[in-house]
Amino acid sequence: KFSVIATTIASIAIILGAFLLANAYKYKFESTQSINVTGNAFEDFDADFVKWRATFSRSDFDLSTASNQLKIDQSVVKKFLVSKGIKTNEIVFQAVNISKDIQYGTDSNGNSISQFNGYILSQDVTIESKDLDKIENASREISNLISQGIELNSFNPNFYYSKLEDLKLELIARASENAKQRAENIASKSGSKLGKLKNADLGIFQITGKNDNEEYSYGGVFNTTSRFKTANITIKASYGL
């Protein structure tokens, strides 16, 4: 009886071990079978918000004189902007920046010297608006104020999109679907059946000027100089078979 029981237990152990070994091999085989794909999605869109900055300055040996001249310039700049259809609540004049114009050098004996050439007063004006056409036109024409004696420097407008987060979510969904379609196509053409998603990595969101030859960067591109833009996102996904 003892011999029969021992033999029975040994047989069961052998069968169970073979079963576990077979399942382990099967799991290992299935876990190593995967398809790696990259999904992509892009969308052309137009900016709906613009921010533009210009700066003007005056210099004089007398601080009060320079300040009065700058106030006159501010009035001229504001009048110009309003004449271009820009609303007064969209125009913000920043605080006046005051600095001394000091020239450093050396005399004939090699000693360090400095020469005071007056005060420099500068002021920034910032315009934020949803009326992109008016701001673009004004930014092109504001340089005409230079002929009126105003020392002016105008920067390029920066264009933004207020619904950028919604656009990102939409593109992520489309890129995910694109990755799955590519994986299904590979599996189908190779006579296999696509399994579950194993892993997915979201790429960097890239925003470039539409039809511009901008290169993608590792940290992502965020174009603000172009009014018309293109958003792009990639997703790397791995599916089992």
pLDDT digit string (tens) for 162-207? Answer: 999 999 999 999 999 999 999 999 988 888 888 899 999 999 999 9
Q: What share of the chain in percent tops pLDDT 90?
A: 69
- Separation in Å, CA 202 to CA 73, 198, 237: 51, 14, 9
Task: Tell me: pLDDT of 46 over 50.
Answer: yes
Please tell me the predicted confidence (pLDDT) of residue 218: 81
Please tell me the predicted confidence (pLDDT) of residue 29: 46
Q: Is the pTM of this model over 0.75?
A: yes
Alpha helices in the chain (DSSP H): 2-32, 63-83, 132-141, 164-189
Enumerate residues 6+ apart whose C-beta is below 8 A from 46: 161, 227, 228, 229
Number of H helices and E strands in the chain, helices first, is 4, 10
Q: What amino acid is encoded at 185 in this protein?
A: N
d(CA 152, CA 47) in angstroms, rounded, equals: 27
d(CA 171, CA 232) in angstroms, rounded, equals: 8
Query: Any idea how long the chain is?
Result: 241
Q: What is the pLDDT of residues 218-230, one digit of tens each?
A: 888 999 999 999 9
Please tell me the predicted confidence (pLDDT) of residue 41: 97
